[in-house]
Structure 1
Amino acid sequence: MLRVHTAGSVGGSTALVAASLVHSGVHERVLTVAWEKQSESNAMWALSLKQPFQVSINAGAGGYFSPIIRQYMEETQAPELIGCMVAFKDRQHALLNPYAHLHQPDLTFDQVVESPMLWEPIRYSETCPSSDGAAAMVIVNETEAENQ
């Protein structure tokens, strides 16, 4: 067992750790479980200042994930707006879930694209708000996946 604690990015961070453990051959399969209980925390420290006083820094989850996203985009030749496409699709799917944290029925793809850049290539509308949640994933190597 390995504990990964990265505050609001724990779901993504545990997935990266699990994938690294499988990719390196340390394990053939990894069960990763992540959860957050943001409703019980004082998240006021995380509020950003309004522009023009906001400076671009590579801190927090965005600063950690942005280089990984850029590398993925370069290696896979993913479209420049892949993050916007995923965020818009996810917001549309959230409308089908009454328990989803965000319901933005009037959100357009252009609004996602035009939202402020926080950590290149991550825009504001590609990020999630602080909320409670949980996720579990099983990450396996190719051989294990083919056997399933």
Structure 2
Amino acid sequence: VPKRMVSDFPPSRVVKTAYGEVRGRRLVHQGEKQVDAFQGIPFAAPPVGELRFKKPLPPAIWEGVRETTAFSARSIQHPMNPHDYAMKGVPSEDSLYLNVFTPVWEAPEEGFSCNGFIHGGGFVNGEASSYGDIGICENIVTRGIVFITIQ
């Protein structure tokens, strides 16, 4: 099965957040149950420079529509094996992002259920992207659940 690229998926709807507008990807089409994925939404200012080891600050407000179509860099960790950086890309201190996977269809009167997930790893390894995006959409979100992962 060939690997699918970000450009293989149509854009999602644009959603307004407290810090600016975001546009993700429409990942799954199952009849009427379409799913939008917004990946790499900042939830805090990057903890770099003078902000390192300080209390998190809100992210900067951005102008225009921010494209949120891919997972952010993973946090800096000790490589578990020599191939970690080659396989998963270079980690970054700028890794305070979340991913929101949401149904596109109209919500029931009581709203959608919501589930938040923080990956394990004991501050040694792990990342939000290790659970993929297609699987989350097909197995969780198509059941009417908004699913949020945090890097």
What is the TM-score with the length of structure 2 in the denominator?
Answer: 0.23
Higher relative helix content:
1
Higher relative strand content:
2
Name which structure has the greater RCO, CA cutoff 8 Å, separation 6+. 1
What is the TM-score with the length of structure 1 in the denominator?
Answer: 0.24
